[in-house]
Amino acid sequence: MTKDIKRIAVFTSGGDAPGMNAALRAVVRTASFNDLHVYGIKGGYEGMVDGNLSRLEVRDVGNIIHRGGTILKTARSERFRTPEGRKSAYEALLAFDIDACIGIGGDGTFTGANIFSQEFPDIPLIGVPGTIDNDLYGTDYTIGFDTAVNTAIDAADKIRDTADSHNRLFFVEVMGRHSGFIALNTGIGSGAASVLIPEIETTLEGLVETLRKGAKRKKLFSLVIVAEGNRYGGAAEIAKRVQDSFDYYDTKVAIIGHLQRGGSPTAMDRVLASRLGFGAVEGLIKGEKNVMVGLVNNKIKYTPFEVAIGKTKIPDKDLIRMAEILAI
């Protein structure tokens, strides 16, 4: 241990993701096992600026592993973006004698953590990747991604039933910010005719041609999965443009939206969150700092914040190729 750590503060920040509570549970219980005190920060960085900290005991994280959302709440903080706000956050941590921090969140959370770590290096900080987008470099999966995909596939299956009944073409929009991981996996899992993601230069002409080939085979319905970060716009805009040049199907649009962010986490997300929360505390004890804990090839790995948020993570090319072949 490079620093005598006795008190850890933990917070959740940015968009909520199923499994955040499971990660929090693992942090508190691992810290308790190692005779460390844990303080929860309510409301992310905003709560840090305000000094909204309270002690967390093992009993406080009982019966939460299955719950979606986050019992610590989350918020976006404009004040933390300023030097004055970060100084207030630092002083609040010192007032509670906090020796290190663990932040559970995504890209924005780690961007703030990286700046804070550079300005106040005496408080080690480790990040746990909690975001449904799965867009962080240095981990194969992020907490919440698997649950979001399962939610999206469940919705797509239901949409498939009505599409089949009415000979319809459905454009189903899923979340993922600027990343196509959710859309790609939803498309494969739901048997979609096409998937539009930011990482693939798909043209609308090519999409229409794919749909025409399906129509020639007397395909009764089609599903097209659209990532919200697709360069042609949302599902509604794409559906309108396709309908103008191809009217074989009755075209409809479904936007799954924030349903993907809620709900009880899957078994995979619960286990992943537990492993990463455990790994965050173990990392602090071993002297890791200013890094994100991730899972790569089923092994815990620590990646510097600047790399985790600076490098672009893209879907596997073979997976993309497979999705195109299976959609024939």
Instruction: Please identify every residue annotated as catalytic.
Output: 133
Strand order in the sheet with 53-56: 53-56, 37-41, 7-12, 100-105, 125-129, 291-296, 299-304
Return phi, psi of residue 89, to 5°: -65, -45
Contact 66, 264 (CB under 8 A): yes
Rounded distance, CA 119 to CA 141, Å?
29
**Rounded Cα gap, residues 105 and 80, in angstroms:** 15
Beta bridge partners of 224: 171, 194
Cα–Cα distances in angstroms (integers) from residue 240 to residues 176, 222, 237, 265, in the given order: 22, 15, 5, 35
The residue written with tokens 């309270």 in the block is: 54
Residue pair 21/146 in contact (Cβ under 8 Å)? The answer is: no
Rounded Cα–Cα distance for residues 264 and 46 (Å): 26
> Any residues with CB less than 8 A from the CB of 266 and at least 6 apart, and which?
18, 146, 147, 150
Distance CA 257, CA 252 (A): 16
Nearest to 265 by CA among 161, 94, 140, 145: 145
Nearest to 290 by CA among 89, 129, 113, 139: 113
Q: Residue ranges of the alpha helices (H) in 172-298?
A: 181-190, 204-216, 235-245, 267-286
Reported as type and span, the H/E element at residue 24 is helix 20-33
